[in-house]
């Protein structure tokens, strides 16, 4: 920690402070920090797994893949494991995360017991829910590294069983799908069978599925979606399925949900030739980042005289009762499919992502591009989505591009509380504020 503090203190005022991380799951692309980034390599790895207390002490730059590898042999995992292997613990807490147990366990930061946070002035403070830094504890989620960096986290773990049984249930429209979500989340069961995991996929307005997962000790057979077979395609073709707990946790990573299709990886010929070790979300993101830096796809599209396309990469949370209205709007105005659905219920109140405690929301995730029509400029469709989400009382995650006006941004993300935290922990403004980082991409 002393070395890291020296790195920060040595930087002249006005010099940007960024982490030198080998991976990123953000979709606000910037040039890599290179030598200018803070060396945080010492804060990777699992420091301790306490099987009695069911806790883990973890470096903030530790990936969930490494964490799961350390806890699973003890029959334990974090309460919520985000879908992609290289998401880090610190990143999931500062930038939020979600997965299929979120209807019962909230978001990853709700399992955090304490953190060591490096503040912009080089100090390291122990942050807990009830010490003198309790306000920072509640305001750190959704701060995206603008209040400091989590160097160590202690998190709660839950016991698991070796296998997960899946049921894929089809719904003919969004109204009945939303009603199914409400019923399952209220009872924790579906047709008298316990539900430990719940997410879903909308392929079209009349083809929606909820995937219900349940822990089990024994299975009749196992499926494998780490090679030639593709998980999301199985949802339409199978009523029941069985996976190991590890394969279940990473079922989306092999094909980046379904986004690997855009890179040709779902083509059977390409897939046979593609090394299995590179069927990973971090590999695909590096390819996309390279393309964004060099604008290869855009140049090729211009040569083909194809219309410009706007990346529409977002996760939004809607109250469950407004989900059908949003999906109808999305299907008509945006037209991207498939779309991911993931119910969640926040267990507590968190300052910078103000969602009602105990209220049922549904995360809607969509990651593709939309062709721009005559006179339409980049941002047209993202802005349309932002307006609709706000109108319906929802929230938008900030890992990708945003177009909010500054006043509406601070209304949505509790600007008053944020300014107090900024004054307390970064009075000299050594880190950009949340709007500058997440909207202006500074």
Residues facing 127 on adjacent strands? 115
Is the pLDDT reported for residue 214 higher than 90?
Answer: yes
pLDDT category at 136 given cuts 50, 70, 90 is very high
- 36 domain residue, yes or no: yes
Looking at 200, 216, 251, which one is the last position of a domain?
251
Verify that 153 and 211 share a domain, yes or no: no
CA angle at 147 for the pair 143 and 148, rounded to the nearest 5°: 110
Q: Residue 241 belongs to what domain range?
A: 163-251
Determine if residue 122 is left, alpha or beta; phi over 0 gives left, psi from -120 to 50 gives alpha, anything else beta.
left
Verify that 41 and 64 share a domain, yes or no: yes
pLDDT at 40: 74
Burial classification of residue 217, based on how many CB atoms lie within 10 Å of its CB (0-12 exposed, 13-18 middle, 19 or more buried): exposed
Give me the percent of the chain exceeding a pLDDT of 90: 82
Verify that 135 and 209 share a domain, yes or no: no
> Number of folded domains in the chain?
2
Q: Which two tokens stand for residue 44?
A: 């990777």
Verify that 6 and 149 share a domain, yes or no: yes
Rounded CA-CA distance 171/69 in Å is: 36
Verify that 103 and 129 share a domain, yes or no: yes
Rounded CA-CA distance 57/91 in Å is: 15
Say if strands 189-190 and 149-159 run parallel, antiparallel, or are unpaired.
Answer: unpaired
Looking at 160, 189, 204, which one is the last position of a domain?
160
- 301 domain residue, yes or no: no
Is the pLDDT reported for residue 243 higher than 70?
Answer: yes
Least confident of 336-340, 379-383, 398-402: 398-402
Rounded CA-CA distance 248/166 in Å is: 9
- 124 domain residue, yes or no: yes
Nearest to 251 by CA among 212, 287, 224: 224
CA dihedral for 153, 107, 102, 224, sign (positive or negative): negative
- 358 domain residue, yes or no: no
DSSP secondary structure, 56-81, as one string: EEEETT-BHHHHHHHHGGGTEEES--
Q: Which two tokens stand for residue 342?
A: 């993931």
Average pLDDT, the chain: 92
Rounded CA-CA distance 92/58 in Å is: 13
Verify that 92 and 213 share a domain, yes or no: no
Number of other CB atoms surrounding residue 57 within 10 Å:
16
Q: 280 vs 83, 131, 272, 306, CA distance in Å?
A: 11, 40, 15, 29
Verify that 113 and 209 share a domain, yes or no: no
pLDDT at 291: 79
- 75 domain residue, yes or no: yes
Cβ atoms of residues 442 and 436 within 8 Å: yes
Rounded CA-CA distance 224/227 in Å is: 7
pLDDT in tens, 155-193: 999 999 999 999 999 999 999 999 999 999 999 999 999
- 425 domain residue, yes or no: no
- 37 domain residue, yes or no: yes
pLDDT at 17: 67
Verify that 14 and 87 share a domain, yes or no: yes
Q: Give the domain CATH number at 11.
A: 3.30.465.10
Averaged pLDDT for residues 64-88? 97
- 21 domain residue, yes or no: yes
């Amino acid at each position: 920690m002393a070395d890291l503090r020296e790195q920060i203190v040595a930087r002249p005022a006005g010099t940007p402070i960024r982490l030198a991380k080998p991976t990123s799951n953000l979709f606000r692309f910037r040039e890599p920090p290179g030598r200018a980034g803070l060396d945080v390599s010492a804060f990777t790895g699992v420091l301790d797994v306490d099987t009695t207390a069911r806790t883990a002490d973890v470096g903030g730059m530790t990936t969930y893949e490494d964490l799961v590898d350390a806890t699973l042999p003890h029959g334990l995992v974090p309460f919520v494991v985000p879908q992609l292997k290289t998401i880090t613990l610190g990143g999931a807490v500062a930038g939020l995360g979600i997965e299929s147990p979120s209807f019962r366990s909230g978001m990853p930061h709700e399992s955090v017991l304490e953190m060591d946070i490096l503040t912009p002035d080089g100090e390291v403070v122990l942050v807990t829910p009830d010490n003198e830094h309790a306000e920072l504890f509640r305001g750190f989620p959704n701060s995206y590294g603008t209040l400091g960096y989590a160097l160590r986290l202690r998190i709660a773990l839950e016991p698991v069983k070796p296998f997960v049984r899946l049921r894929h249930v089809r719904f003919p429209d969004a109204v009945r799908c939303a009603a199914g979500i409400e019923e399952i989340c209220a009872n924790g069961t579906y047709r008298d069978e316990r539900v430990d995991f719940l997410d879903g996929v909308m392929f079209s307005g009349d083809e929606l599925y909820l995937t219900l997962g349940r822990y089990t000790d024994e299975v009749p057979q196992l499926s494998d979606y780490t090679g030639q077979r593709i998980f999301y395609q199985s949802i339409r073709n199978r009523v029941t399925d069985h996976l190991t707990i590890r394969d279940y946790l990473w079922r989306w990573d092999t094909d980046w949900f379904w986004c690997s299709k855009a890179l040709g990886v779902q083509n059977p010929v390409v897939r046979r030739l593609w090394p299995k070790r590179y069927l990973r979300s971090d590999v695909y993101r590096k390819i996309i980042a390279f393309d964004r830096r060099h604008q290869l796809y855009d140049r090729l599209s211009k040569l083909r005289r194809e219309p410009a396309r706007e990346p529409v990469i977002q996760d939004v949370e809607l109250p469950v009762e407004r989900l059908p209205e949003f999906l109808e709007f999305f299907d008509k105005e945006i037209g991207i499919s498939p779309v991911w659905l993931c119910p969640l219920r926040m267990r507590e109140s968190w300052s910078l992502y103000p969602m009602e405690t105990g209220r049922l929301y549904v995360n809607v995730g969509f990651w593709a591009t939309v062709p721009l029509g005559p006179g339409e400029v980049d941002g047209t469709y993202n802005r349309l989505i932002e307006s609709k989400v706000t109108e319906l009382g929802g929230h938008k995650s900030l890992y990708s591009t945003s177009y909010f006006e500054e006043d509406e941004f601070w209304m949505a993300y509790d600007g008053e509380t944020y300014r107090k935290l900024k004054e307390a922990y970064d009075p000299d403004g050594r880190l950009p504020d949340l709007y500058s980082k997440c909207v202006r991409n500074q």
